[in-house]
């Protein structure tokens, strides 16, 4: 089975927004064993939309997925264009109206404005697809053995609609299945990783293997297409071989994130943590608390940007700051130790460094970071040097701190 994606929106052609929905859809279609034969981006203009639809008829794809232009504002023309294209009247749908009412009452809004009520006007011939995150209804049409799905362009609305209602239908129709396992690594450059696994790649020619750098992580994607009746055994055995090859470079698989893996480790060992951040400015605490249930292990964070706050709040000694500077092994160590004691936590994690773009020196260049990790009487300091832009540096620093935490927690298991 093949699919075509048509993304509608002037903003996608104006340079303001980057079209990202197609990337999501391509990957999801892959899971259903459906390959994407083309992606078109066109403006909010009926003629362009119709030309794109006709091109996909000529390409003879099985499924056409259209995103965008279903909203309530004047430049949203997709719904009207679809109605004309399939020769359908536009009518008021009670089903859609009730859904919109429920959405607003769930948000505590009792009455609908005209613009929201108008979202219940839909093509008579369309099968409606619920939008659980917004007011624009999804539309399904069938014509000459070809299915057309029209979805909103807002990613959070489109993704939920596709996952809940469209993907299951497509999976049932396509009898192919693609087994895909994603392996997540961090702390190893792409080129080093490639050298480590080159032999393994050559050995597994029947698998489709990709190395995907997603700063500051590198993923390895392993894919196998097969008839739906066969299992995933050969992918799994190749992946477990890879896991042995890479060892601690791998932090997780598929939906794992570095934060979720650390959360599992902390909960399993019943350990609590506190953070003392300088250069990462709260990013580590923010990432740790992105996980639901983090109040079980995250006790407290202190963001000490100034020397004054390092001294007064964290009890870092003035002598240390004078002798070694705020960006130093010694300061990182005291920060980690002290925040652990202050918060009565099992683990103290600290960062001090230079995120840039100013503030570097020959001895401590931009991108220098010291990470302190204090746990059960054992104190470690890690040092990294990495410089790109300020936001990348902050993220890289937080990644290295969390990764060292993961590796240390892994050590407890052994």
**Ranges within 153-192 binding its own copies (CB under 8 A):** 154, 156, 180, 182, 190-191
In the complex, least distance from residue 295 CB atom to its own copies, rounded to whole angstroms = 5
Ramachandran class of 236: left when φ > 0, alpha when ψ lies in -120 to 50, beta otherwise: alpha
Would you give the distance in Å from CA 352 to the centre of its chain?
Answer: 27
| Binding residue for its own copies, selected from 139, 284, 332, 405, defined by CB under 8 A | 284
Half-sphere exposure of 127 (CA within 13 A, CB side): 9
In the complex, least distance from residue 125 CB atom to its own copies, rounded to whole angstroms = 27
User: Is the CB of 115 or the CB of 323 nearer to its own copies?
Assistant: 115
| Binding residue for its own copies, selected from 1, 46, 55, 128, defined by CB under 8 A | 55
Determine the interface stretch with its own copies among 164-172, 261-269, 307-315, 400-408 (rule: CB under 8 A): 307-315
In the complex, least distance from residue 197 CB atom to its own copies, rounded to whole angstroms = 10
Q: Are 351 and 369 within 8 A, CB to CB?
A: yes
Span 111-130, contacts to its own copies by CB under 8 A: 113, 115-116
| Binding residue for its own copies, selected from 62, 169, 219, 234, defined by CB under 8 A | 219
The two three-digit tokens of residue 55, written as one number: 């091109």
| Torsion of Cα atoms, 402 then 403 then 405 then 408, to 10° | 180
**Maximum Cα–Cα distance for the chain, whole Å?**
80
Q: Reduce the DSSP state of residue 173 to 3 states and report it.
A: helix
Give the CA distances from residue 330 to residues 2, 30, 216, 335, 365, in Å, rounded to whole numbers and listed in that order: 59, 51, 26, 9, 17
| Binding residue for its own copies, selected from 117, 125, 269, 390, defined by CB under 8 A | 390
In the complex, least distance from residue 83 CB atom to its own copies, rounded to whole angstroms = 22
**362 forms part of the interface with its own copies (CB under 8 A):** no
| Binding residue for its own copies, selected from 281, 315, 325, 360, defined by CB under 8 A | 281
| Binding residue for its own copies, selected from 144, 229, 255, 292, defined by CB under 8 A | 292
| Binding residue for its own copies, selected from 110, 144, 358, 414, defined by CB under 8 A | 358
| Binding residue for its own copies, selected from 1, 30, 167, 256, defined by CB under 8 A | 30
User: Is the CB of 109 or the CB of 142 nearer to its own copies?
Assistant: 109
Q: Reduce the DSSP state of residue 119 to 3 states and report it.
A: helix
User: Is the backbone peptide bond immediately before 251 cis, with ω within 30 degrees of 0?
Assistant: no
| Binding residue for its own copies, selected from 21, 34, 36, 354, defined by CB under 8 A | 36
Q: Are 79 and 18 within 8 A, CB to CB?
A: no
**210 forms part of the interface with its own copies (CB under 8 A):** yes
Give me the helix-helix angle, 46-59 and 78-85, nearest 10°. Answer: 50
Site string for its own copies, 225-264 (x = CB under 8 A): ----------------------------------------
**205 forms part of the interface with its own copies (CB under 8 A):** no
User: Is the CB of 237 or the CB of 385 nearer to its own copies?
Assistant: 385
| Distance separating alpha carbons of residues 389 and 348, to the nearest angstrom | 27
Span 338-357, contacts to its own copies by CB under 8 A: 342-344, 355-357
| Binding residue for its own copies, selected from 142, 237, 243, 306, defined by CB under 8 A | 306
Residues 6+ apart with CB under 8 A from 160: 131, 132, 133
What letters, b where the CB count within 10 A reaches 16 and e where it falls short, cover 223-255? Answer: bbeeeeeeeeeebeebbeebeeebeebbbbeee
In the complex, least distance from residue 347 CB atom to its own copies, rounded to whole angstroms = 14
| Binding residue for its own copies, selected from 1, 91, 167, 201, defined by CB under 8 A | 201
């Amino acid at each position: 089975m093949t699919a075509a994606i048509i993304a509608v929106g002037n903003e996608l052609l104006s340079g303001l927004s980057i079209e990202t929905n197609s990337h999501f859809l391509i990957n999801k279609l892959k899971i259903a064993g459906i390959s994407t034969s083309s992606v078109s981006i066109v403006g909010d203009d009926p003629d362009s939309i119709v030309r794109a639809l006709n091109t996909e008829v000529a390409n003879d794809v099985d499924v056409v997925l259209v995103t965008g232009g279903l909203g309530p504002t004047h430049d949203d023309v997709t719904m009207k264009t679809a109605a004309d294209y399939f020769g359908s009247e536009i009518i008021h749908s009670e089903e859609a109206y009730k859904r919109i009412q429920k959405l607003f009452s769930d948000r505590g809004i009792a009455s609908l404005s005209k613009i929201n009520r108008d979202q219940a006007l839909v093509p008579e011939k369309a099968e409606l697809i619920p939008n659980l995150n917004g007011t624009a209804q999804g539309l399904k049409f069938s014509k000459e053995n070809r299915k057309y799905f029209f979805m909103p362009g807002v990613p959070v609305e489109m993704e939920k609609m596709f996952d809940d209602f469209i993907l299951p239908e497509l999976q049932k129709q396509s009898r192919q299945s693609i087994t895909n396992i994603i392996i997540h690594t961090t702390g190893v450059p792409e080129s080093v990783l490639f050298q480590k696994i080159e032999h393994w790649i050559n050995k597994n020619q029947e698998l489709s293997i990709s190395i995907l750098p997603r700063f500051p992580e590198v993923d390895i994607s392993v894919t196998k297409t097969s008839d739906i009746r066969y299992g995933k055994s050969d992918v799994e055995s190749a992946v477990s071989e890879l896991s042995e090859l890479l060892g601690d470079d791998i932090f997780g698989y598929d939906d794992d994130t570095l934060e979720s893996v650390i959360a599992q480790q902390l909960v399993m060992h019943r350990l609590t943590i506190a953070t003392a951040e300088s250069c990462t400015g709260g990013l580590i605490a923010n990432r740790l608390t992105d996980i639901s249930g983090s109040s079980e292990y995250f006790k407290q964070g202190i963001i000490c940007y100034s020397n004054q706050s390092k001294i007064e709040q964290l009890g870092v000694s003035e002598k240390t700051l004078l002798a070694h500077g705020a960006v130093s092994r010694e300061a990182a160590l005291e920060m980690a130790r002290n925040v652990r004691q202050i918060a009565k936590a099992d683990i103290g994690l600290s960062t001090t460094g230079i995120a840039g773009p100013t503030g570097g020196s020959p001895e401590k260049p931009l991108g220098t970071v010291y990470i302190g990790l204090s746990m059960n009487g054992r104190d470690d300091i890690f040092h990294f040097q990495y410089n790109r832009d300020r936001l990348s540096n902050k993220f890289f620093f937080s990644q290295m701190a969390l990764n060292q935490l993961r590796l240390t927690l892994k050590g407890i298991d052994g």
